[in-house]
Structure 1
Amino acid sequence: MQIFLPPSEGKTPPAHDDGARLDLQALTLPELGSPRAQVLHALVRVSAQEDAQQILKVGAKVMAEVEANTRLTEAPTAAAWQIYTGVLFDALDAGSLSGAQLHRAERQVLIFSGLFGATGFTDRIPAYRLAMDVALDPLGRLASYWKKELAATMADRVGDQLVVDCRSATYANAFKPAAQQTLMVNNFTVKDGQRKVVTHFAKHARGELTGMLLRAEAEPQTIDDVVAVASQRWTVEIRESDGKKPHQLDLIS
């Protein structure tokens, strides 16, 4: 089984600098080294421009993070799960994983991003600012760029495994496994008898489910296994794939 996660918009720089710097070839899926380098160089260049705020689609409050993009190759690094912060990763609570559970995460979890395409859970990366819906000259829109670059590499990685997809639409478009082997995770909050999607709660549910799957005593492999784990926390409904759209796992709070 593979678990696909989005990055978080906000990132937290390492609290301590142990001297380790970004090594693109040391990341999971090293065959993506060349396209990653192209995006990295384009981001460094754009981040130094006067129109960086407009190109990167960010607010004035995070311009210090944009300026820091110009020094990514010199920046301290930490495990991806430590760099990415926010609702989903807080709910996952990777810091409490055992050694065996963290090893499972290394094998099973990929975090998609505009900068790296996809990285492993424990890959060493710096804090950066770049979303998947940004267009960087001369690469174009990153979602389209990575869709082309990820296709063959991700198909080899996934094989015939089940993919539990916790990504938002922008990141999901970068690589789509076959519908029949994909389980999209949704979350609905019921209020006054009506189901609503609340982004904050959806992110939290996806993070919490990921943590539960990594901590499960027997490693989940099938949709039924995932349902069994999720049912410990939520009312669960499955909408089966129609051959074009993936299976849908609805977590109802």
Structure 2
Amino acid sequence: MIVLLPPSESKSNRLRGRPADPTTWSFPDLIPARAEVAAALAAASARPDALEVLGVSAGLADEVARNLLLDSAPATPAAEVYTGVLYDALGLATLDAASLRRARRMLVVVSALHGAVRLGDRITAYRLSAGTDLPGIGRPETWWGRHLSPVLTAHAGAGVVVDCRSGSYLPMWRPSGAVATRWVQVRVPGASHMAKHTRGLVARALVQLPSTPRTVPATATALAETFEVSLREPDRLGRPWVLEVTST
């Protein structure tokens, strides 16, 4: 099983330490594509109109400036870089040792800059959204749609793909073929804040399971012990199962 998470808009970084080494990250086949996106982001962030190009307000100028330090800023585990509602609900710091090991293995963050990383990969804070039109690259949601498919398809293997992403991060990888038959999107009725919170709780519940469900219905059954769930089969070939989840 793999659990796909979105990155957070808010990110933090350690103040000291060695810079990131992309050759040590998960999914090494993505190294060339990552380097292209990083170079394009640094070039865009150095422009006088960087804020406009990246589609952010003046209040985020400091975050854009961090894009110029991707090669020199202290490397920080992705588990610490990504913060916010979903990651607060995930609560990695409060997991027992076995659950934390499963989290580091199962959870995959789909990133506009890096494509995909695991929580133990030591990255740096950055500012880039999947829907940004990045000069030289285009929209990361489209760029990574071409590069992630073979890598994540191979990584998914015969396991269930639990998709906790939303918005512009969904097009970055849409499972196809046999993997699509084991792909389930987690949807949460209500406001986006509650949706993020509940998806974080779902990811936490999955890594706490002593054994990993091998089918989508078994995954829904396991989660039904903690949440109110409703599972719908795909309405056509290549579409995901849909698991509506409500926190009890």
TM-score normalised by the chain length of structure 1? 0.92
Asked if 1 retains the 8 angstrom alpha-carbon contact of 2:182 and 2:216, the reply is: no
Corresponding residue for 1:193? none
Residue type of the partner of 2:207?
Answer: L
What is the CA deviation profile of residues 156-183 of structure 1, one whole-angstrom value per residue up to 9, with x for unaligned ones?
Answer: 1112221000001311101111331101
Partner of residue 36 from structure 2, selected from 21, 35, 38: 38
Partner of residue 110 from structure 2, selected from 109, 112, 118: 112
Match of 1:9, SS?
coil
Match of 1:250, SS?
strand
Asked if 1 retains the 8 angstrom alpha-carbon contact of 2:182 and 2:215, the reply is: no
Residue type of the partner of 2:224?
Answer: S
TM-score normalised by the chain length of structure 2? 0.93
Corresponding residue for 1:213? 206
What is the CA deviation profile of residues 129-179 of structure 1, one whole-angstrom value per residue up to 9, with x for unaligned ones?
Answer: 111111222111111111111121122111222100000131110111133
Percent sequence identity over matched residues? 36
* Distance (whole Å) between structure 2 residues aligned to residue 156 and residue 244 of structure 1: 17
Q: What is the Cα deviation at residue 217 of structure 1?
A: 2.2
Within 5 A, what are the aligned runs for 1:133-148?
A: 133-148=131-146
Residue type of the partner of 1:107?
Answer: R
Corresponding residue for 1:244? 238
Within 5 A, what are the aligned runs for 1:1-253?
A: 1-14=1-14, 16-17=15-16, 19-178=17-176, 179-188=180-189, 197-242=190-235, 243-253=237-247
* Distance (whole Å) between structure 1 residues aligned to residue 238 and residue 212 of structure 2: 28
Q: What is the Cα deviation at residue 96 of structure 1?
A: 1.4
* Distance (whole Å) between structure 2 residues aligned to residue 229 and residue 50 of structure 1: 52
Unaligned runs of 5+ in 2: none
Q: What is the Cα deviation at residue 220 of structure 1?
A: 3.0
Cα RMSD (Å) of the superposition? 1.4
Residue type of the partner of 1:219?
Answer: T
Residue type of the partner of 1:37?
Answer: A
Unaligned runs of 5+ in 1: 189-196
Corresponding residue for 1:192? none
* Distance (whole Å) between structure 2 residues aligned to residue 121 and residue 229 of structure 1: 24
* Distance (whole Å) between structure 1 residues aligned to residue 218 and residue 205 of structure 2: 12
